[in-house]
Structure 1
């Protein structure tokens, strides 16, 4: 069902942000990235105990493309 939308004021949208108004069939990302982090890097919460005395992050990646941007216009 079509949406009727009034006035909209957008102050800013981040580089990886998504903005849609009304009906949406599909929303897909417009950028891809890869993150490398060591043991215990993305833990969140209260009272964490992380025991990673010896940690090594392997950043070597033999793939040329992990997620294609083809058709994601």
Structure 2
């Protein structure tokens, strides 16, 4: 089982070849997992979203549920 949180850290990351900062979130992790499962013909593992960010939580859950139902 994977438990997702939307807001991962106060730290931001530089975009490659850029001076622009981007925030990595639990949504980025969920997108990576969906792509990994698609590329490797795997079922999505069980998941839970425990984030206190209601919009971020809904976005993660929607992405994962849509892939699971696909």
Under TM normalisation by the shorter chain, which class is it? under 0.3
The structure where strand makes up a greater share of residues is: 2
Larger radius of gyration: 1
TM-score by length of 1: 0.23
